[in-house]
């Protein structure tokens, strides 16, 4: 008999979120950028680090970082909340607006962490389904919201793992209809043709969540942020731990923005490659959903998905096996890599399908 206490019973047996990593030559399974951030950025961060007073607590309000982000988006610094990855932003949103007796709505298949974090914070998860093209069914969304009255409404656009983006009119209509806070997760925002940032306002129940992990090539930095009403930001500050954002990260995130055009260049390269990969997949008779992100969801027509995934691993190419996820039967998700990596993936797939 163990003397260790039992954890909260409502945690259940949920598996933590993870993507298995294997030793392969071509890693296209976690939607990271294939390119490192600019060397000049690293030099600037190193220089800052030399001058930092590490014996002192960092700026609790992350003022300089928030001012820089506010300038980037043409909003006020009081409309920005930053945290350790956008996942921590989502967690703070659930802590502040979810919790016992409250609900969070989302439409599957979508980013697994939305339901996971809601669940961890004791927020009841209410789920609807997407249309066959994986976009939202506005009428069904409105019915679910009317029936359940969720305090949080999660919209992932472009949606992970499908790559599909919502139309501006859909997001506007959801914000219009919602009694709760609409959270648009734009982890892939810069890859898309449209952003919900243009809808943000101090009296609008909408927040847009962004991350340094994908387009900024800084998944290892763990920095994300939210743009939304100043009142929501104030509330977020009450649930975040004091000094949650360390000083070095604040500086690194602020300095990254000086390399905006390099970020845009990387994004353009990835978008061009995404179009090439999509076209090649269609030519190989794969079912493909049009992506506005840095990955492509596809379904091999005559397989379980899992067997193709295994055959790709045998050729040292790792993609994400989504074939057993509800609503994604037989599907695989491939992250767009460098032109070389994409060539390797396409050649391996061609060989597997033969
Ligand atoms: C990758 C991803 C994130 C990023 O989370 P971080 O904690 O910022 O690394 C957030 N949302 C979605 C939908 C993602 O795919």
Residue 17 has pLDDT above 60, yes or no: no
Q: In terms of residues, how long is the chain?
A: 354
The CATH T-level fold of domain 19-37+261-353 is 3.90.1150
Counting from 1 in the atom list of ligand 1, the atom nearest the Cα of 156 is 13
Residue 187 has pLDDT above 80, yes or no: yes
Strand ranges for 143-248 from DSSP E: 152-156, 181-185, 206-211, 224-227
Q: Which pLDDT value is given to residue 9?
A: 85
In this prediction, residue 242 has a pLDDT band, given cuts at 50, 70 and 90, of very high
The answer regarding whether domain 39-259 maps to CATH 3.40.640.10 reads yes
> How far separated are the first and last CA of the chain, in Å rounded?
55
Q: How far, in Å, from the CA of 228 to the mean position of ligand 1?
A: 18
Q: Which of 213, 294, 320 to mutate to test the pocket of ligand 1 (most atoms within 8 A of CB)?
A: 213
Task: Give me the helices (H) in the chain, please.
Answer: 39-51, 63-73, 85-97, 112-120, 138-148, 168-177, 230-239, 247-256, 260-283, 306-314, 339-353
Ranges of each domain in the chain:
19-37+261-353, 39-259
Q: Which pLDDT value is given to residue 129?
A: 95
Q: Is the peptide bond before 161 cis (omega within 30 degrees of 0)?
A: yes
CB 267 within 8 A of CB 158: no
10 Å CB burial of residue 142 (0-12, 13-18, 19+) is middle
Q: Which pLDDT value is given to residue 329?
A: 94
* Residue range 42-93, pLDDT digits in tens: 999 999 999 999 999 999 999 999 999 999 999 999 999 999 999 999 999 9
Q: Which pLDDT value is given to residue 19?
A: 66
Longest dimension (CA), the chain: 61
Q: Of 279, 110, 253, whose CA–CA distance to 188 is shortest?
A: 110
Q: What is the mean pLDDT of residues 240-260?
A: 98
* Residue range 113-126, pLDDT digits in tens: 999 999 999 999 99
């Amino acid at each position: 008999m163990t003397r260790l206490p039992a954890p909260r019973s409502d945690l259940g047996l949920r598996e933590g979120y993870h993507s298995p990593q294997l030793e392969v030559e071509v890693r296209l399974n976690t939607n990271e950028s294939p390119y490192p951030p600019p060397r000049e950025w690293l030099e600037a961060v190193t220089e800052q680090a030399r001058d930092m007073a590490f014996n002192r607590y960092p700026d609790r309000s992350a003022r300089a970082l928030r001012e820089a982000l506010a300038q980037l988006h043409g909003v006020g610094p009081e409309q920005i909340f930053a945290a350790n990855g956008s996942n921590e932003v989502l967690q703070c949103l659930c802590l502040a607006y979810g919790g016992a007796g409250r609900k969070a709505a989302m439409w599957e298949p979508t980013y697994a962490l939305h339901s996971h974090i809601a669940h961890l914070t004791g927020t009841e998860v209410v789920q609807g389904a997407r249309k066959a093209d994986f976009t939202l069914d506005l009428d069904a969304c409105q019915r679910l919201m009317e029936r359940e009255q969720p305090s949080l409404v999660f919209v992932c656009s472009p949606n992970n793992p499908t790559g599909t983006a919502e139309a501006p009119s859909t997001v506007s209509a959801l914000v219009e209809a919602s009694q709760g806070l609409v959270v648009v997760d734009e982890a892939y925002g810069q890859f898309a043709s449209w952003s919900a940032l243009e809808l943000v306002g101090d009296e609008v129940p909408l927040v847009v969540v962004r991350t340094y992990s994908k387009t900024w090539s800084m998944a290892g930095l763990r920095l994300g942020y939210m743009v939304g009403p100043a009142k929501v930001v104030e509330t977020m500050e009450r649930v975040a731990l004091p000094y949650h954002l360390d000083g070095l990260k604040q500086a690194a995130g602020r300095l990254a923005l000086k390399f905006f055009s390099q970020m845009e260049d990387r994004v353009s390269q990835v978008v061009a490659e995404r179009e090439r990969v999509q076209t090649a997949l269609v030519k190989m008779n794969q079912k493909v959903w049009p992506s506005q992100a840095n990955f492509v969801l596809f379904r091999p027509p005559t397989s379980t998905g899992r067997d193709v995934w295994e055959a790709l691993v045998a050729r040292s190419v790792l993609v994400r096996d989504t074939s057993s996820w509800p609503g994604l039967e037989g599907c695989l998700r491939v992250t767009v890599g460098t032109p070389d990596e994409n060539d390797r993936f396409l050649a391996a797939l061609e060989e597997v399908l033969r």
